[in-house]
Structure 1
């Protein structure tokens, strides 16, 4: 081989090897006995350098780095990215680099080779990785899939970047342990906190204003938890009010009570807030105990034991029923709702009355929310002659004959 040919062959091999090298600025840290690195990748680079979970459904869970991905979540997260291009946010993706037995990268060049451990000169530098062993995702596989989808929809997103935390790939078992450690201690925020902190959602904003403005809710609603069953001071949760309000928001539009659907484009947030203020003040009149507790006339803890209307499952079912009445009865909805909620058969919603057994209660315990929802809504519809859905009819058919007779249901 001639000198020229040798040179060309050497350049070819160099170019080939260069394709398999990643050299990036990085931040180095030390955690739990190992060094780790933090880099940033453009969204276009993420799917090129990072390998997701094997989608093969026949692959044993014991051989997976983490759980199997759910493609439906790719679309959901991609939609979030595309719809919020100017202010979407992601936490870092976590990956491992190298192959079995790896404990350090191909090369690490600190900004200051003589700097003591933990100092800026030790922490900042250039990281070199061999891409023959791609980055294996441990936490963030749904973000990875969503990023690919989002770039397909909106190519300009390819220039955005995301942080990637890199740990050495020791072996499969260590990767599985890392996945477990990262997810075991993670606790998603409550429904109430999601409503409180998500200002993009117009329904969230409407419900928050309702909680701040309706007389019986002021200072009486827990904004963080999903249950206040044992609270001596708080009547409801933000999530509970939301679940009861959402059907009324939908019903008010579909029944023609409000002319335009609630949306940012329609700029009608205040209109819906005003409508729900009035609706909730009216509902509170049907449950006088609410006002008495709010004004300090009676004890919440004692009354919670006596009445069903404090229960969040019961409250959300009432809200869904009212939403249906708004759709069916339009301007006459208040008259229908008042007739129903104050019906003598409801026995003032006292828990100790036998008519609730099997319908809402089992002994002194409220039935699961799914059962309460469909059975209570069907019961309330029966009282005012509204037609039942097939699902509601089926649910009542499955009740004990004595319960059917008690609520006036004729199979």
Structure 2
């Protein structure tokens, strides 16, 4: 038996048909793939072109993708240069979620000999089989290079990942221009998941905390949008889940798997008391005022004010046994954007809202003023700096 036949027989038992007298083999494959790699695969068709989906053990990725296409000039590659800064974040995601990580398929193109051998002759059997790739073929990652790099880094720290698998979609016999087109098409309509929806679907302690207090509250459920962070003018919701999540972090401080459950009643009680002392919010809950109107006219329907209230609440819960009585003074505050004496240069700049962390701190300082809460040295220094800037 020739080396070619011996290699193919060992590679895939379906490539040959053995005759009755056991004296010869008939080669069913038209390719001459002497050695290389093989994968169980399913064959599909898109736009008239065949592609193959395989399951690849993570430990084989280094052997499969041996070509670093980023070393080539842009006109000779079909992939962006890898961003090394992204890799640690993805690696940590794998390691921190060892039994909960999820990855979509990698996409790759085969430049060289390859062949798909079905397990039989029926319609379905022709689509299930083995993908053979010649050892001299180059395999280019077209989508998923950062996932691949992160997996390889994670394997170094946790070898138990080795036999887990990731799906790879292979395209064969594609020119450089076609590979560039595939890369472009795969990235044509990327839509990043909204931050609020990501938190709503997350199982991290901080996410469980914020969504639990919202779901358990009739008022917060009316006020908070669980899917969108940027609320449109027609939205009936007052604030986003991401805003409440961020404000709650300000309120309770460190949140982890050991303490988040004990923080749920504390955070719930605080936000319910705040709502009681925000008459305009209660009008929205009763559908007597539109959220749109409140967002247009007041600062108390924006993320920055929720964060500020979280900062204020953090102080009250630690230092004021009568914090519920103190919160009653919220009713005395003029939250209108037109109240320039209070809010201009804090969270309002030329009539527009400013939602950064410093704006939240400065807004919290003014709320503390009305609640008769003393400022610490850092807060007082921020106030003096603000006044100097206003006087320029």
TM-score (norm 1): 0.76
Correspondences of 1:9-88 after superposition (within 5 Å): 20-51=35-66, 53-54=68-69, 60-88=73-101
Deviates more, 1:225-234 or 1:142-151: 225-234
Partner of 2:104: 91
Structure 2 partner of 1:278: 269
Task: Name 1:305's counterpart in structure 2.
Answer: 296
Deviations 1:116-138 (A, max 9, x none): xxx31231122211232232111
Matched, 1:139 2:143: yes
The answer on whether the counterparts of 1:53 and 1:68 sit within 8 Å (CA) in structure 2 is no
Q: Structure 2: any 5+ residue segments left out of the alignment?
A: 11-31
State how 1:160-239 maps to structure 2 within 5 Å.
Answer: 160-168=164-172, 170-199=174-203, 201-239=204-242
Distance 1:348 1:382, change over 3 A: closer
2:323 equivalent among 334, 337, 351: 334
8 A contact 1:210–1:273 mirrored in 2: yes
In structure 1, distance between residues paired with 2:48 and 2:387: 62
Q: Out of 99, 118, 121, which is 1:110 matched to?
A: 118
Please name the residue that 1:351 is paired with.
337
Residue of structure 1 in register with 2:16 after alignment = none
Unaligned runs of 5+ in 1: 1-6, 100-104, 251-260, 403-411
1:366 aligns with: 353
In 2, the alpha carbon distance for the partners of 1:380 and 1:135 equals: 60
Q: Do structure 1's residue 242 and structure 2's residue 245 form an aligned pair?
A: yes
Distance 2:237 2:225 in 1: 6
Shift of 1:339: 8.5
Separation (CA, whole Å) in 1 of partners of 2:120 and 2:79? 37
C-alpha separation between the residues in 2 aligned to 1:51 and 1:390? 59
The secondary structure found in structure 1 opposite 2:229 is: coil
Give the distance between the partners of 1:321 and 1:169, measured in 2 at CA. Answer: 63
Alpha-carbon distance between aligned partners in 2 of 1:283 and 1:110, rounded to the nearest angstrom: 66
- Whole-angstrom distance in 2 between the partners of 1:163 and 1:300: 45
Q: Aligned pair count?
A: 364
Tell me if the contact between 1:53 and 1:69 (Cα under 8 Å) persists in the aligned partners.
no
Following TM superposition, by how much is the alpha carbon of 1:296 offset from its aligned partner in structure 2, in angstroms?
A: 3.3
SS of equivalent to 2:359: helix
Structure 1 Cα separation of the partners of residues 67 and 239 of structure 2: 43
| Residue 102 of structure 1: aligned partner | none
8 Å contact kept, 2:87–2:149: yes
Alpha-carbon offset, residue 81 of structure 1: 2.0
Q: Provide Cα deviations, 1:175-219, integer angstroms capped at 9, x if missing partner.
A: 2322221122121211111111122x1111111111012342133
